[in-house]
Structure 1
Amino acid sequence: MIKEKVMEEIKTIDEDISIVIKDLTNNQWILKYKEEEVFPSASLIKIPIMIEALYAVQNGEYKLDEKIKIKESDRVEYSLISELKLGEYPLIDLITLMIILSDNTATNILIELLGYHRINEGIKKLDCKNTVLRRKMMDFQAAKEGRENMTSPMDMAIVMEKIYNKSIIDLESCNIMIDILTRQKHRDMLPRYILDEVTIAHKTGELSGLNHDIGIFYLENIHYLMGIFTRNGKDDLEGKRIIGKVSKLVYDLLNN
Protein backbone atom coordinates (compact mmCIF):
# COMPACT_ATOMS: atom_id res chain seq x y z
CA MET A 1 0.00 0.00 0.00
CA ILE A 2 2.77 2.47 0.88
CA LYS A 3 4.72 1.56 -2.24
CA GLU A 4 1.66 2.08 -4.44
CA LYS A 5 0.82 5.44 -2.88
CA VAL A 6 4.39 6.72 -3.22
CA MET A 7 4.60 5.57 -6.84
CA GLU A 8 1.28 7.28 -7.55
CA GLU A 9 2.66 10.48 -6.00
CA ILE A 10 5.90 10.52 -7.97
CA LYS A 11 4.07 10.05 -11.29
CA THR A 12 3.15 13.74 -11.01
CA ILE A 13 6.78 14.85 -10.48
CA ASP A 14 8.84 16.32 -13.33
CA GLU A 15 12.20 16.04 -11.55
CA ASP A 16 14.44 12.98 -11.73
CA ILE A 17 13.83 11.19 -8.45
CA SER A 18 15.18 8.12 -6.68
CA ILE A 19 13.77 6.74 -3.43
CA VAL A 20 14.70 4.12 -0.86
CA ILE A 21 12.43 3.22 2.05
CA LYS A 22 13.10 0.40 4.51
CA ASP A 23 11.24 -0.78 7.59
CA LEU A 24 14.18 -1.21 9.95
CA THR A 25 12.09 -2.62 12.77
CA ASN A 26 11.07 -5.61 10.66
CA ASN A 27 14.08 -5.55 8.30
CA GLN A 28 11.89 -5.25 5.21
CA TRP A 29 12.26 -3.08 2.13
CA ILE A 30 9.15 -1.03 1.42
CA LEU A 31 10.35 0.62 -1.78
CA LYS A 32 13.46 0.76 -3.91
CA TYR A 33 12.99 3.06 -6.90
CA LYS A 34 16.00 3.82 -9.12
CA GLU A 35 18.08 3.06 -6.04
CA GLU A 36 21.31 2.46 -8.00
CA GLU A 37 21.08 5.78 -9.86
CA VAL A 38 24.37 7.64 -9.48
CA PHE A 39 24.17 11.28 -8.37
CA PRO A 40 26.67 13.95 -7.39
CA SER A 41 26.75 13.36 -3.66
CA ALA A 42 26.78 17.00 -2.53
CA SER A 43 27.12 16.97 1.27
CA LEU A 44 26.11 13.32 1.71
CA ILE A 45 29.79 12.47 1.17
CA LYS A 46 30.28 13.88 4.67
CA ILE A 47 28.72 10.75 6.21
CA PRO A 48 31.58 8.40 5.16
CA ILE A 49 34.10 11.11 6.12
CA MET A 50 32.57 11.12 9.63
CA ILE A 51 32.83 7.33 9.77
CA GLU A 52 36.49 7.32 8.74
CA ALA A 53 37.33 10.02 11.28
CA LEU A 54 35.83 7.87 14.04
CA TYR A 55 37.74 4.82 12.78
CA ALA A 56 40.91 6.89 13.21
CA VAL A 57 39.86 7.64 16.81
CA GLN A 58 39.17 3.96 17.47
CA ASN A 59 42.62 3.11 16.07
CA GLY A 60 44.23 5.49 18.55
CA GLU A 61 45.51 7.92 15.90
CA TYR A 62 43.50 10.83 17.28
CA LYS A 63 41.40 11.64 20.32
CA LEU A 64 37.93 13.15 20.14
CA ASP A 65 39.03 16.11 22.25
CA GLU A 66 42.31 16.56 20.35
CA LYS A 67 42.72 20.14 19.10
CA ILE A 68 43.11 20.46 15.32
CA LYS A 69 44.68 23.67 14.02
CA ILE A 70 42.82 25.71 11.41
CA LYS A 71 44.94 27.41 8.75
CA GLU A 72 43.69 30.49 6.91
CA SER A 73 44.01 28.54 3.67
CA ASP A 74 41.54 25.97 5.04
CA ARG A 75 38.69 28.46 5.35
CA VAL A 76 35.98 28.36 2.67
CA GLU A 77 32.45 29.72 2.29
CA TYR A 78 29.34 28.32 3.99
CA SER A 79 31.25 27.74 7.18
CA LEU A 80 30.74 28.86 10.75
CA ILE A 81 34.41 28.04 11.33
CA SER A 82 35.41 30.56 8.66
CA GLU A 83 33.27 33.23 10.30
CA LEU A 84 34.40 32.68 13.89
CA LYS A 85 38.12 32.84 13.14
CA LEU A 86 39.16 30.56 16.02
CA GLY A 87 42.59 28.98 15.49
CA GLU A 88 41.77 25.41 16.56
CA TYR A 89 38.86 23.09 17.25
CA PRO A 90 38.51 19.73 19.00
CA LEU A 91 38.16 16.90 16.48
CA ILE A 92 34.67 16.04 17.74
CA ASP A 93 33.55 19.63 17.06
CA LEU A 94 34.82 19.44 13.47
CA ILE A 95 32.93 16.17 12.93
CA THR A 96 29.77 17.60 14.50
CA LEU A 97 29.83 20.88 12.57
CA MET A 98 30.49 19.00 9.32
CA ILE A 99 27.20 17.12 9.81
CA ILE A 100 24.76 19.37 11.67
CA LEU A 101 25.64 22.59 9.83
CA SER A 102 27.24 20.91 6.79
CA ASP A 103 30.29 23.07 7.52
CA ASN A 104 32.58 23.03 4.49
CA THR A 105 35.75 24.18 6.26
CA ALA A 106 35.36 21.41 8.84
CA THR A 107 34.91 18.92 6.00
CA ASN A 108 37.99 20.06 4.11
CA ILE A 109 40.13 19.90 7.24
CA LEU A 110 38.99 16.31 7.86
CA ILE A 111 39.70 15.37 4.23
CA GLU A 112 43.20 16.80 4.63
CA LEU A 113 43.66 15.01 7.95
CA LEU A 114 42.53 11.60 6.70
CA GLY A 115 43.43 11.71 3.00
CA TYR A 116 41.43 10.84 -0.12
CA HIS A 117 42.81 7.33 -0.46
CA ARG A 118 41.98 6.35 3.08
CA ILE A 119 38.44 7.77 2.92
CA ASN A 120 37.78 6.00 -0.40
CA GLU A 121 39.17 2.71 0.90
CA GLY A 122 36.85 3.09 3.89
CA ILE A 123 33.91 3.66 1.53
CA LYS A 124 34.71 0.39 -0.29
CA LYS A 125 34.77 -1.47 3.03
CA LEU A 126 31.26 -0.18 3.69
CA ASP A 127 30.10 -2.15 0.58
CA CYS A 128 29.39 1.01 -1.42
CA LYS A 129 29.72 0.55 -5.19
CA ASN A 130 28.91 4.03 -6.44
CA THR A 131 30.38 6.36 -3.85
CA VAL A 132 33.68 8.18 -4.28
CA LEU A 133 35.37 11.28 -2.86
CA ARG A 134 37.22 13.19 -5.60
CA ARG A 135 37.32 16.79 -4.43
CA LYS A 136 37.08 19.08 -1.43
CA MET A 137 34.03 21.21 -0.71
CA MET A 138 33.68 24.40 -2.76
CA ASP A 139 36.27 23.25 -5.31
CA PHE A 140 34.11 24.04 -8.30
CA GLN A 141 37.05 23.96 -10.70
CA ALA A 142 37.56 20.28 -9.86
CA ALA A 143 33.84 19.67 -10.44
CA LYS A 144 34.04 21.36 -13.87
CA GLU A 145 36.97 19.11 -14.72
CA GLY A 146 34.84 16.06 -13.94
CA ARG A 147 36.27 15.35 -10.49
CA GLU A 148 32.91 15.23 -8.73
CA ASN A 149 31.98 13.40 -5.54
CA MET A 150 29.40 10.73 -6.35
CA THR A 151 27.01 8.36 -4.59
CA SER A 152 23.72 6.52 -4.99
CA PRO A 153 20.63 6.18 -2.79
CA MET A 154 21.38 2.50 -2.20
CA ASP A 155 24.95 3.20 -1.09
CA MET A 156 23.79 5.79 1.41
CA ALA A 157 21.03 3.47 2.63
CA ILE A 158 23.63 0.75 3.26
CA VAL A 159 25.78 3.17 5.24
CA MET A 160 22.89 4.57 7.29
CA GLU A 161 21.60 1.09 8.11
CA LYS A 162 25.06 0.03 9.32
CA ILE A 163 25.11 3.05 11.63
CA TYR A 164 21.58 2.23 12.84
CA ASN A 165 22.47 -1.42 13.46
CA LYS A 166 25.71 -0.35 15.15
CA SER A 167 27.59 -2.80 12.98
CA ILE A 168 30.57 -0.58 12.13
CA ILE A 169 33.43 0.78 14.24
CA ASP A 170 32.19 0.19 17.79
CA LEU A 171 29.02 0.77 19.81
CA GLU A 172 30.20 4.08 21.28
CA SER A 173 31.15 5.49 17.85
CA CYS A 174 27.79 4.50 16.35
CA ASN A 175 25.99 6.15 19.25
CA ILE A 176 28.04 9.29 18.68
CA MET A 177 27.13 9.31 14.98
CA ILE A 178 23.43 8.78 15.64
CA ASP A 179 23.47 11.57 18.22
CA ILE A 180 25.16 13.94 15.77
CA LEU A 181 22.78 13.04 12.92
CA THR A 182 19.73 13.65 15.12
CA ARG A 183 21.00 17.20 15.80
CA GLN A 184 20.84 18.11 12.11
CA LYS A 185 19.96 21.79 11.68
CA HIS A 186 18.93 21.64 8.02
CA ARG A 187 15.32 20.52 8.29
CA ASP A 188 13.81 21.79 5.05
CA MET A 189 13.57 18.44 3.25
CA LEU A 190 12.55 15.15 4.94
CA PRO A 191 11.10 16.86 8.06
CA ARG A 192 9.72 19.82 6.07
CA TYR A 193 5.99 19.17 6.54
CA ILE A 194 6.11 16.99 9.66
CA LEU A 195 4.77 19.07 12.53
CA ASP A 196 5.05 16.34 15.20
CA GLU A 197 8.07 16.07 17.46
CA VAL A 198 9.89 13.16 15.86
CA THR A 199 13.53 12.08 16.10
CA ILE A 200 15.23 11.87 12.70
CA ALA A 201 18.91 11.03 12.26
CA HIS A 202 19.59 12.47 8.82
CA LYS A 203 21.91 14.31 6.46
CA THR A 204 21.03 16.63 3.61
CA GLY A 205 22.91 17.47 0.45
CA GLU A 206 22.29 20.10 -2.17
CA LEU A 207 23.87 21.64 -5.23
CA SER A 208 22.28 23.77 -7.91
CA GLY A 209 19.37 21.75 -9.32
CA LEU A 210 19.99 18.84 -6.97
CA ASN A 211 18.56 17.98 -3.53
CA HIS A 212 19.08 14.90 -1.33
CA ASP A 213 18.08 13.88 2.17
CA ILE A 214 18.48 10.49 3.82
CA GLY A 215 17.72 9.55 7.37
CA ILE A 216 16.35 7.23 10.01
CA PHE A 217 12.96 8.01 11.56
CA TYR A 218 12.53 6.86 15.15
CA LEU A 219 8.77 6.50 15.66
CA GLU A 220 7.21 4.80 18.66
CA ASN A 221 5.79 1.93 16.65
CA ILE A 222 8.42 1.67 13.92
CA HIS A 223 11.91 2.76 12.90
CA TYR A 224 12.34 3.33 9.18
CA LEU A 225 14.97 4.55 6.77
CA MET A 226 14.12 6.90 3.93
CA GLY A 227 16.26 8.53 1.27
CA ILE A 228 14.99 10.79 -1.48
CA PHE A 229 17.31 12.13 -4.18
CA THR A 230 16.16 14.66 -6.82
CA ARG A 231 17.74 16.57 -9.69
CA ASN A 232 16.90 18.47 -12.90
CA GLY A 233 13.92 20.21 -11.37
CA LYS A 234 12.75 23.74 -12.12
CA ASP A 235 14.39 25.07 -8.93
CA ASP A 236 15.85 23.98 -5.59
CA LEU A 237 12.79 25.04 -3.62
CA GLU A 238 10.64 22.71 -5.69
CA GLY A 239 13.10 19.85 -5.07
CA LYS A 240 12.86 20.40 -1.33
CA ARG A 241 9.06 20.57 -1.48
CA ILE A 242 8.92 17.28 -3.38
CA ILE A 243 11.14 15.56 -0.80
CA GLY A 244 9.06 17.02 2.02
CA LYS A 245 5.77 16.00 0.42
CA VAL A 246 6.81 12.38 -0.22
CA SER A 247 8.32 12.15 3.25
CA LYS A 248 5.12 13.41 4.88
CA LEU A 249 3.05 10.88 2.90
CA VAL A 250 5.21 8.00 4.11
CA TYR A 251 5.33 9.33 7.65
CA ASP A 252 1.53 9.57 7.86
CA LEU A 253 1.08 6.04 6.48
CA LEU A 254 3.67 4.46 8.79
CA ASN A 255 2.74 6.49 11.86
CA ASN A 256 -0.84 5.19 11.65
Structure 2
Amino acid sequence: MKNYEKLVEKIEKYVTNQNANISVSFCDLKRDFTFNVEGDKKSPSASMIKLLIMAEVLDEVDKKKLSLNEKYIISPHNIVEGSGIVFELEEGHEFSLKEIIKLMIILSDNSCTNFLIDLVSMEKINKMGKMLDLKNTVLQRKMMDLESAEKGFDNYTSSNDIMNILKLIYDGKLINEEMSSIALEILLCQKLNYGLKKYLPEELKLASKSGDLENLENDGGIFFTDTCDYILTVLVNGTKNYIAKDIIAEISKMVYCFMEV
Protein backbone atom coordinates (compact mmCIF):
# COMPACT_ATOMS: atom_id res chain seq x y z
CA MET A 1 0.00 0.00 0.00
CA LYS A 2 1.41 3.36 -1.03
CA ASN A 3 1.91 6.04 1.60
CA TYR A 4 0.23 8.95 -0.19
CA GLU A 5 0.78 11.21 2.81
CA LYS A 6 4.45 11.52 1.86
CA LEU A 7 3.58 12.55 -1.70
CA VAL A 8 0.95 15.06 -0.55
CA GLU A 9 3.34 16.55 2.01
CA LYS A 10 6.12 16.84 -0.56
CA ILE A 11 3.94 18.57 -3.14
CA GLU A 12 2.33 20.91 -0.58
CA LYS A 13 5.78 21.93 0.67
CA TYR A 14 7.01 22.51 -2.89
CA VAL A 15 3.93 24.58 -3.79
CA THR A 16 4.27 26.69 -0.62
CA ASN A 17 7.86 27.55 -1.53
CA GLN A 18 7.00 28.84 -5.02
CA ASN A 19 6.23 32.48 -5.76
CA ALA A 20 3.22 31.69 -7.96
CA ASN A 21 -0.46 30.74 -7.87
CA ILE A 22 -0.58 26.95 -8.18
CA SER A 23 -3.42 24.44 -8.26
CA VAL A 24 -2.78 20.69 -8.30
CA SER A 25 -5.20 17.78 -8.65
CA PHE A 26 -4.25 14.09 -8.67
CA CYS A 27 -6.13 10.82 -9.03
CA ASP A 28 -4.69 7.30 -8.81
CA LEU A 29 -7.07 5.59 -11.22
CA LYS A 30 -6.36 2.06 -10.00
CA ARG A 31 -6.50 2.70 -6.25
CA ASP A 32 -9.23 5.36 -6.30
CA PHE A 33 -7.17 7.86 -4.31
CA THR A 34 -7.37 11.61 -4.99
CA PHE A 35 -5.87 14.73 -3.48
CA ASN A 36 -5.65 18.37 -4.46
CA VAL A 37 -3.96 21.63 -3.55
CA GLU A 38 -6.33 24.55 -4.21
CA GLY A 39 -8.14 22.20 -6.57
CA ASP A 40 -11.38 24.19 -6.66
CA LYS A 41 -9.67 27.55 -7.17
CA LYS A 42 -11.08 29.27 -10.28
CA SER A 43 -8.30 30.12 -12.74
CA PRO A 44 -8.05 31.38 -16.32
CA SER A 45 -8.32 28.27 -18.46
CA ALA A 46 -6.37 29.31 -21.54
CA SER A 47 -6.65 26.38 -23.98
CA MET A 48 -7.82 23.90 -21.34
CA ILE A 49 -11.36 25.10 -22.17
CA LYS A 50 -10.99 23.18 -25.42
CA LEU A 51 -11.65 19.94 -23.52
CA LEU A 52 -15.18 21.17 -22.76
CA ILE A 53 -15.70 22.27 -26.36
CA MET A 54 -14.65 18.80 -27.54
CA ALA A 55 -17.13 17.23 -25.12
CA GLU A 56 -20.06 19.23 -26.53
CA VAL A 57 -19.09 18.52 -30.15
CA LEU A 58 -18.86 14.79 -29.40
CA ASP A 59 -22.27 14.95 -27.74
CA GLU A 60 -23.68 16.40 -30.98
CA VAL A 61 -21.96 13.59 -32.89
CA ASP A 62 -23.49 10.99 -30.57
CA LYS A 63 -26.93 12.51 -31.14
CA LYS A 64 -26.38 12.27 -34.92
CA LYS A 65 -26.64 16.05 -35.30
CA LEU A 66 -23.06 16.11 -36.57
CA SER A 67 -20.80 13.62 -38.32
CA LEU A 68 -17.06 13.23 -37.74
CA ASN A 69 -16.63 12.61 -41.47
CA GLU A 70 -18.47 15.73 -42.65
CA LYS A 71 -16.23 18.24 -44.44
CA TYR A 72 -16.02 21.92 -43.53
CA ILE A 73 -14.15 25.02 -44.61
CA ILE A 74 -12.99 27.30 -41.78
CA SER A 75 -14.59 30.65 -42.59
CA PRO A 76 -12.28 33.71 -42.69
CA HIS A 77 -14.00 35.40 -39.71
CA ASN A 78 -12.95 32.45 -37.51
CA ILE A 79 -9.32 32.45 -38.60
CA VAL A 80 -7.12 33.96 -35.91
CA GLU A 81 -3.46 33.74 -35.02
CA GLY A 82 -1.92 32.46 -31.81
CA SER A 83 -1.59 28.70 -31.47
CA GLY A 84 -2.29 26.35 -34.37
CA ILE A 85 -1.59 26.18 -38.09
CA VAL A 86 -4.83 26.96 -39.93
CA PHE A 87 -4.04 30.68 -40.14
CA GLU A 88 -0.87 29.69 -42.05
CA LEU A 89 -2.78 27.75 -44.73
CA GLU A 90 -4.46 28.95 -47.89
CA GLU A 91 -8.14 29.81 -47.54
CA GLY A 92 -10.68 27.24 -48.66
CA HIS A 93 -8.97 24.13 -47.30
CA GLU A 94 -11.46 21.40 -46.37
CA PHE A 95 -11.23 19.52 -43.08
CA SER A 96 -13.36 16.72 -41.68
CA LEU A 97 -14.99 17.47 -38.34
CA LYS A 98 -12.70 14.94 -36.67
CA GLU A 99 -9.65 16.70 -38.15
CA ILE A 100 -10.90 20.02 -36.82
CA ILE A 101 -11.30 18.55 -33.33
CA LYS A 102 -7.83 16.99 -33.53
CA LEU A 103 -6.24 20.28 -34.60
CA MET A 104 -8.00 22.06 -31.73
CA ILE A 105 -6.62 19.54 -29.22
CA ILE A 106 -3.23 18.33 -30.44
CA LEU A 107 -1.99 21.67 -31.83
CA SER A 108 -4.42 23.85 -29.83
CA ASP A 109 -5.54 25.52 -33.05
CA ASN A 110 -7.47 28.70 -32.22
CA SER A 111 -9.15 28.99 -35.64
CA CYS A 112 -10.56 25.47 -35.36
CA THR A 113 -11.70 26.26 -31.82
CA ASN A 114 -13.59 29.36 -32.92
CA PHE A 115 -15.21 27.40 -35.74
CA LEU A 116 -16.42 24.73 -33.31
CA ILE A 117 -17.77 27.34 -30.88
CA ASP A 118 -19.88 28.75 -33.71
CA LEU A 119 -20.89 25.27 -34.87
CA VAL A 120 -22.40 24.14 -31.55
CA SER A 121 -22.83 27.52 -29.75
CA MET A 122 -21.31 28.92 -26.58
CA GLU A 123 -24.59 28.36 -24.75
CA LYS A 124 -24.58 24.60 -25.41
CA ILE A 125 -20.91 24.33 -24.46
CA ASN A 126 -21.62 25.91 -21.08
CA LYS A 127 -24.68 23.71 -20.58
CA MET A 128 -22.40 20.72 -21.16
CA GLY A 129 -20.09 22.04 -18.43
CA LYS A 130 -23.00 22.06 -16.00
CA MET A 131 -24.13 18.61 -17.10
CA LEU A 132 -20.62 17.29 -16.40
CA ASP A 133 -20.72 19.01 -13.00
CA LEU A 134 -17.70 21.19 -13.77
CA LYS A 135 -18.11 23.78 -11.02
CA ASN A 136 -15.62 26.39 -12.18
CA THR A 137 -15.42 25.89 -15.94
CA VAL A 138 -17.06 28.46 -18.22
CA LEU A 139 -16.59 29.72 -21.78
CA GLN A 140 -17.18 33.48 -22.09
CA ARG A 141 -15.28 34.43 -25.22
CA LYS A 142 -13.75 33.01 -28.38
CA MET A 143 -10.01 32.57 -28.86
CA MET A 144 -8.01 35.76 -29.44
CA ASP A 145 -11.09 37.91 -28.83
CA LEU A 146 -9.15 40.72 -27.22
CA GLU A 147 -12.11 43.11 -27.30
CA SER A 148 -14.19 40.80 -25.09
CA ALA A 149 -11.18 40.17 -22.84
CA GLU A 150 -10.80 43.93 -22.30
CA LYS A 151 -14.47 44.04 -21.25
CA GLY A 152 -13.77 41.45 -18.56
CA PHE A 153 -14.95 38.30 -20.33
CA ASP A 154 -12.64 35.32 -19.99
CA ASN A 155 -12.63 31.54 -19.91
CA TYR A 156 -12.13 29.78 -16.58
CA THR A 157 -11.59 26.35 -15.07
CA SER A 158 -10.00 24.66 -12.05
CA SER A 159 -7.56 21.80 -11.65
CA ASN A 160 -10.32 19.65 -10.12
CA ASP A 161 -12.61 20.30 -13.09
CA ILE A 162 -9.90 19.27 -15.55
CA MET A 163 -9.12 16.16 -13.49
CA ASN A 164 -12.81 15.27 -13.45
CA ILE A 165 -13.34 15.62 -17.20
CA LEU A 166 -10.23 13.51 -17.83
CA LYS A 167 -11.52 10.88 -15.41
CA LEU A 168 -14.85 10.78 -17.27
CA ILE A 169 -12.90 10.10 -20.46
CA TYR A 170 -10.81 7.38 -18.79
CA ASP A 171 -13.91 5.73 -17.28
CA GLY A 172 -15.76 5.80 -20.61
CA LYS A 173 -18.38 8.17 -19.21
CA LEU A 174 -17.80 11.31 -21.29
CA ILE A 175 -21.15 11.06 -23.09
CA ASN A 176 -20.61 7.29 -23.45
CA GLU A 177 -17.87 4.73 -24.01
CA GLU A 178 -17.63 5.35 -27.77
CA MET A 179 -17.26 9.13 -27.45
CA SER A 180 -14.83 8.70 -24.56
CA SER A 181 -12.71 6.41 -26.74
CA ILE A 182 -12.62 9.02 -29.50
CA ALA A 183 -11.64 11.74 -27.02
CA LEU A 184 -8.88 9.56 -25.55
CA GLU A 185 -7.56 8.68 -29.01
CA ILE A 186 -7.27 12.38 -29.84
CA LEU A 187 -5.63 13.32 -26.51
CA LEU A 188 -3.03 10.59 -27.00
CA CYS A 189 -1.92 12.36 -30.21
CA GLN A 190 -0.98 15.51 -28.25
CA LYS A 191 2.01 17.38 -29.70
CA LEU A 192 2.20 20.16 -27.09
CA ASN A 193 3.38 18.26 -24.01
CA TYR A 194 6.38 20.25 -22.80
CA GLY A 195 5.14 20.59 -19.21
CA LEU A 196 3.99 17.36 -17.59
CA LYS A 197 6.28 15.22 -19.73
CA LYS A 198 9.40 17.43 -19.69
CA TYR A 199 11.41 15.29 -17.25
CA LEU A 200 9.71 11.96 -17.94
CA PRO A 201 10.63 9.12 -20.34
CA GLU A 202 9.92 9.95 -23.98
CA GLU A 203 8.08 6.67 -24.49
CA LEU A 204 5.62 7.34 -21.65
CA LYS A 205 1.99 7.11 -22.82
CA LEU A 206 0.23 10.37 -21.96
CA ALA A 207 -3.17 11.71 -23.05
CA SER A 208 -3.06 15.43 -22.29
CA LYS A 209 -4.09 19.01 -22.96
CA SER A 210 -2.18 22.14 -22.07
CA GLY A 211 -2.77 25.87 -22.33
CA ASP A 212 -0.83 29.06 -21.89
CA LEU A 213 -1.22 32.82 -21.71
CA GLU A 214 1.21 35.49 -20.59
CA ASN A 215 2.44 34.48 -17.11
CA LEU A 216 0.21 31.39 -17.14
CA GLU A 217 0.81 27.71 -17.92
CA ASN A 218 -1.74 24.91 -17.47
CA ASP A 219 -1.35 21.19 -18.15
CA GLY A 220 -3.39 18.11 -17.38
CA GLY A 221 -3.25 14.52 -18.52
CA ILE A 222 -3.92 10.83 -18.09
CA PHE A 223 -0.70 8.87 -17.51
CA PHE A 224 -0.42 5.21 -18.53
CA THR A 225 2.65 3.55 -16.97
CA ASP A 226 3.79 -0.04 -16.51
CA THR A 227 2.61 -0.06 -12.89
CA CYS A 228 -0.41 2.26 -12.76
CA ASP A 229 -2.64 4.81 -14.46
CA TYR A 230 -3.16 8.25 -12.94
CA ILE A 231 -4.35 11.77 -13.69
CA LEU A 232 -2.37 14.89 -12.84
CA THR A 233 -3.47 18.46 -13.50
CA VAL A 234 -1.34 21.49 -12.63
CA LEU A 235 -2.42 25.10 -13.21
CA VAL A 236 0.15 27.86 -12.64
CA ASN A 237 -0.14 31.61 -13.03
CA GLY A 238 1.37 34.79 -11.63
CA THR A 239 4.92 34.03 -12.70
CA LYS A 240 7.05 33.97 -15.85
CA ASN A 241 6.07 31.26 -18.32
CA TYR A 242 9.40 29.46 -18.22
CA ILE A 243 9.17 29.28 -14.42
CA ALA A 244 5.56 28.06 -14.58
CA LYS A 245 6.50 25.32 -17.06
CA ASP A 246 9.27 24.14 -14.78
CA ILE A 247 6.91 24.09 -11.78
CA ILE A 248 4.57 21.82 -13.75
CA ALA A 249 7.46 19.60 -14.81
CA GLU A 250 8.87 19.32 -11.26
CA ILE A 251 5.50 18.36 -9.76
CA SER A 252 4.96 15.84 -12.54
CA LYS A 253 8.39 14.30 -11.88
CA MET A 254 7.61 14.02 -8.15
CA VAL A 255 4.36 12.20 -8.86
CA TYR A 256 5.86 9.90 -11.51
CA CYS A 257 8.79 8.87 -9.30
CA PHE A 258 6.43 8.18 -6.38
CA MET A 259 4.03 6.14 -8.51
CA GLU A 260 6.76 4.08 -10.15
CA VAL A 261 8.44 2.93 -6.92
TM tier relative to shorter chain: over 0.9
Mapping of 1:83-94 within 5 angstroms? Answer: 83-87=88-92, 88-94=94-100
| Cross-structure match for 1:68 | 72
TM-score for both structures, normalised by structure 1: 0.96
Q: CA RMSD in A?
A: 1.1
For 1:7, give the aligned amino acid: E
Unaligned runs of 5+ in 1: none
TM-score for both structures, normalised by structure 2: 0.95
For 1:110, give the aligned amino acid: L
Query: What secondary structure is seen at the aligned counterpart in 1 of 2:72?
Result: strand
Identity between Structure 1 and Structure 2 (%): 36
* Residues 222, 231 of structure 2: 8 Å contact kept: yes
Q: Find 2:17's aligned residue among 12, 17, 22.
A: 12
Residue range with higher mean Cα deviation, 84-93 or 133-142 = 84-93
Q: Find 2:160's aligned residue among 146, 154, 173.
A: 154
Query: How far off is 1:232 after superposition?
Result: 0.6
| Cross-structure match for 2:232 | 226
Unaligned runs of 5+ in 2: 1-5
CA–CA separation in structure 2 for the residues paired with 1:45 and 1:187? 16
Q: Find 2:206's aligned residue among 176, 200, 224.
A: 200
| Cross-structure match for 2:150 | 144
| Cross-structure match for 2:257 | 252
* Residues 46, 213 of structure 2: 8 Å contact kept: yes
| Number of corresponding residues | 254
| Cross-structure match for 1:46 | 50
Query: How far off is 1:61 after superposition?
Result: 0.9
Query: How far off is 1:195 after superposition?
Result: 2.7
Query: What secondary structure is seen at the aligned counterpart in 2 of 1:64?
Result: coil
CA–CA separation in structure 1 for the residues paired with 2:139 and 2:185? 24
Mapping of 1:109-148 within 5 angstroms? Answer: 109-148=115-154
| Cross-structure match for 1:177 | 183
Mapping of 1:22-33 within 5 angstroms? Answer: 22-29=27-34, 31-33=35-37
Q: Is it true that 1:212 corresponds to 2:223 in the alignment?
A: no
Runs of 4+ in structure 1 deviating by more than 3 angstroms, as ranges, are: none
| Cross-structure match for 1:240 | 245
For each residue in 1:120-144, what CA deviation from the matched residue of structure 2 results, as whole angstroms up to 9, or x when unmatched? Answer: 1011000011111110000112111
* Residues 193, 209 of structure 2: 8 Å contact kept: no
Query: How far off is 1:168 after superposition?
Result: 2.3
